[in-house]
Amino acid sequence: MPEDAKEQQKNLAERSTAAIAKFIGSWWAIIFHTLWFIVWLIFDFSLEILTLWVSLEAIFIGIFLLMASNRAEAKRDKKEAAEQLRQRKMIGVDISMDRKQTSEMGEIRGSLKKLEKQIAHLTKLGLDKREKTI
């Protein structure tokens, strides 16, 4: 089976599961089931068959809800992984900026030390000249 067909089939199954889970978690499901049980009891159908029907329905509802939950969890995991990757990149950028700033600060300190030496030297030269003229 080609990949596109598999993907379309997967998407159809996922959409169907999501739609069923959405219906099951709604007031419409409660209304539907209430009416269904009332009709069943009014027409006095077999309670054994109703029990079998309800048991099978509960099994399938559980499966659909678990499938929907797994899909939602996979989406959350994917989103969380993308966020962690983005944060790691930002940390990398922050670290490289810190390194650059540390390097620049080292250069500035070196320049300041040179200026201090030059000022001290010029100051000493200026004092020496004054002493000679006095």
pLDDT of residue 108: 94
- For residues 20 and 64, the answer to whether their CB atoms sit within 8 Å is yes
Q: For residue range 2-58, what is the model confidence (pLDDT) as tens digits?
A: 667 766 777 888 888 888 888 988 999 999 999 998 999 899 888 899 899 999 999
pLDDT of residue 57: 92
Q: What is the DSSP string of 30-48?
A: HHHHHHHHHHHHHTT--HH
pLDDT of residue 132: 65
pTM for this entry: 0.56
Letter for the amino acid at 119? I
Phi, psi of 26 (to 5 degrees): -120, 170
CA dihedral 84, 86, 90, 91 (to 10 degrees): 20
> Domain residues of the chain, as ranges?
3-133
Sorting pLDDT into bands at 50, 70 and 90, what band is 1? low
